[in-house]
């Protein structure tokens, strides 16, 4: 699925998402990652929702977002309630959705100049498709 262009070319924008891969600006990724408007962190080691921990979320929270958009793969899977509480206690909302919806939501929030982190989980199944 293609996405619309962002007006500020200095902002990380999701250009395309398909199962197992995402294109951010001119670069394509096939593994779990997170990004802000200014930086891509392609070494985020969260291979499925069950491996999401407070430590994994802390890497996202260290970016000081208002909201974390968590893409959980090809379908929406909610993490443990304690992880929502952890984010709230650190001053950020945690929104959970499928990867395609997460990418669209991230792009919209960046056009509003919101402090947002997009985290995408690519599990082993999505890598083989």
Distances (CA, A) of 116 to 95, 103, 112, 128: 11, 11, 10, 29
Q: Record the pTM.
A: 0.90
39 with 10: CB under 8 angstroms?
A: no
Q: What pLDDT is recorded for position 5?
A: 52
| Amino acid 123: pLDDT | 81
**Average pLDDT per run of 10 along the chain, which is 129 residues long?**
57 95 97 97 93 96 98 96 98 98 97 95 64
Dihedral through CA 65, CA 125, CA 46, CA 86, nearest 10?
Answer: 60
Residue 125 pLDDT? 57
pLDDT given for residue 117 in this prediction: 98
Q: How many Å separate Cα 96 from the centre of its chain? A: 9
Give the H or E element holding residue 60.
helix 54-61
How many other C-beta atoms lie within 10 A of the C-beta of residue 78? 12
pLDDT in the model for residue 128: 44
**Sheet (strand 93-97) strand order:** 40-41, 33-35, 116-120, 67-71, 93-97
Q: Any idea where the domains of the chain sit in the sequence?
A: 14-127
Q: Please give the C-alpha separations between residue 51 and each of 36, 44, 58, 89, in angstroms, as whole numbers.
A: 21, 11, 14, 20
User: According to the CATH classification, is domain 14-127 in 3.40.1230.10?
Assistant: yes
Residue 72 CA to residue 78 CA, distance in Å, equals 8
């Amino acid at each position: 699925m293609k996405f619309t262009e962002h007006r500020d070319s200095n902002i990380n924008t999701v250009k395309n998402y398909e199962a197992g891969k995402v294109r951010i600006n001119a670069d394509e990724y096939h593994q779990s990652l997170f990004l802000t408007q200014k930086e891509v962190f392609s070494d985020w080691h969260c291979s499925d929702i069950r491996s999401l921990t407070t430590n994994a979320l802390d890497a996202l929270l260290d970016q000081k977002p208002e909201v974390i958009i968590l893409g959980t793969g090809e379908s929406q899977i909610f993490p443990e309630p304690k992880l929502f509480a952890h984010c709230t206690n650190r001053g950020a909302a945690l929104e959970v959705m499928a990867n395609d919806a997460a990418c669209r939501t991230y792009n919209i929030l960046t056009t509003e100049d919101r402090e947002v982190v997009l985290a995408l989980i690519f599990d082993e199944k999505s890598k083989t498709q």
